Amino acid sequence: MEKQKWVRLDNASNIFLAAKNNVDTKVFRLSAELKGDVNPRHLQRALDRVYEQYALYHSVLRRGIFWYYLEESELRPVIRPETTSPCATIYHFDRKELLFRVLYHKNRVHLEVFHALSDGTGALWFFEDLISEYVSFKYLEPSDIEKNPDQKRITNQSEDSFAQYFRKSRQKNFTKATLSALEKIYLDREADREIKSNKLELSTDDTTNELETNRGKNKKEQHIYRIKGTRTPDNRMRVIELELSLKKIIELAKQYNVSLTVYLIALYIISVYQTKEEKSGKATVTISVPVNLRQFFPSSSARNFFTTTHLAITFENERELDLAEICQELSRQLKAQTSPTYLEKRVNRFISFELNPFIRVTVRPLKDLILKLINLSNNRNVTVAMSNLGKANFPTEVLPYIQGIYFHTSAIRPQFCMISHEDCLTLSFTTPFIETDIQKKFVELLTEQSIEVIVGTNRVTKEELESQIK
């Protein structure tokens, strides 16, 4: 009997396991709104075909003495109608189950993935192939669509990209994990220190912006703003979806000479500050932004291969902030933290941390406790978060049957995710709170720039759910 293949989890995956809870399940969702209601039979056929091509998705999560690890299984995925709230828990330590699910509701198909299995980019490849296969089965003749899956990403989906680019002794696929979660947390703590030296301070003479170096200052002096609100009764996430023209919003970003991502982050930070109840004194709004390392180090791995940057803007009540200033400062910080040289140096600097003999022999339950405590500490230095998954790509023949593509993640704090399809940009805001002041302000800032926005939201309160039943 052939021995099952296994792989220890990568650096991000271990922290996801330690940090997951009923509010932040560490699950993310990709959705496609299609032409016509979903046909379950065709969707199951499509899933069966794509599942055969993605060996990584055959994995189940197991617990070892020192680390968690993924093990190939013989389980088969079965599509289900959507009956739970978005991004409900997938991994249960006492069950042997796949780490993703495919759901459908009316004309929408959802792929939900536990982040320990894959990052957004890897999941998007699976999702693109799933939707393409489904459309082919339902609407097209076999000869009507070019079915040429990216063979490189099919073959190399379990590749250890951290090992390929950053380890001195390289390891092959499905054998060793990449970086320990402790290394990632250590990197995040370093990034938190960088926040202190990257804050935009507005001078009292109203003429210049100065970057103040705050290394060594007490944490209480940082005045990092943390959002509070009323949590939903059953930990159901509030999800608000915005649809707008990609071309028009890119034109706006160009007016400020920044990227689309930077422009939207700037609007989001302003929305957070302007809806803050108390505006006296200093307040630093920080945002966590994941960076896809495949942009700088070519990889076809479907496993987690990203790092996280932390951007910060400090507001003072002496004068109003200018959007252009914020855009330029965010752009400067992001460029500084995403140069290939910086990223390589940053990751390589902590490779030795993973190999620390003490860390390697520490038993898994103790590692979990350490990671959980460090994660709680790090969360206090983050106000909001965002994630940009880029553009979803489908064969030309499939495009007429797709009406919209959406992406969002579970949330322990307010955040937004973005993904584009054709000329449609969708922004999905998730929050554990009932209040929607930040999202309303964001829409207001967009409409002030003559951007038309289509808004949709789910129901989370008792009153909202009762009105839906009526």
Q: Compute the radius of gyration of the chain from its Cα atoms.
A: 22
pLDDT at 409 over 50: yes
pLDDT at 220: 47
Least confident segment among 47-56, 79-88, 253-262, 341-350: 341-350
Least confident of 23-27, 337-341, 404-408: 337-341
Q: What is the pLDDT of residue 172?
A: 36
The residues, any chain, with a CB within 8 Å of residue 183's CB and separated by 6 or more, are: 11, 350, 351, 353, 354
Q: Which residues neighbour 389 within 8 Å (Cβ) at sequence distance 6 or greater?
A: 120, 121, 124, 407, 417, 418, 419
For residue 463, pLDDT beyond 50: yes
pTM of the model: 0.85
Left (φ > 0), alpha (ψ -120 to 50) or beta: where does 26 sit? left
Number of domains in the chain: 1
Helix (H, G, I), strand (E, B), or coil: what is residue 14? helix
14 within a domain of the structure (yes/no) = yes
> In this structure, what token pair is assigned to residue 181?
């979660």
Q: Decide if 135 is inside a domain.
A: yes
What is the rounded distance in angstroms from the CA atom of residue 383 to the CA atom of residue 286? 5
Specify if 461 maps to a domain: no
Domain range for 11: 6-166
- Judge whether residue 7 has pLDDT over 60: yes
| Angle at alpha carbon of residue 15, lines to 182 and 240, rounded to 5° | 140
Per residue in 90-145, pLDDT (tens digit) is 999 888 999 999 999 999 999 999 999 999 999 999 999 999 999 999 998 765 56
Q: What pLDDT, on a 0 to 100 scale, did the predictor assign at position 229?
A: 93
CATH code for the domain of 31 = 3.30.559.10
| Secondary structure letter of residue 220 according to DSSP | G
Scanning the structure block, which residue is given the tokens 């649809």? 243
pLDDT of residue 176: 39
CB proximity list for 357: less than 8 A, separation 6 or greater: none
Give per-residue pLDDT as tens, 420-460.
999 999 999 999 999 999 999 999 999 999 999 999 998 77
Specify whether the CB–CB gap between 215 and 406 falls below 8 A.
Answer: no
Identify whether 200 is part of a domain: no
**Does residue 108 form part of some domain?**
yes
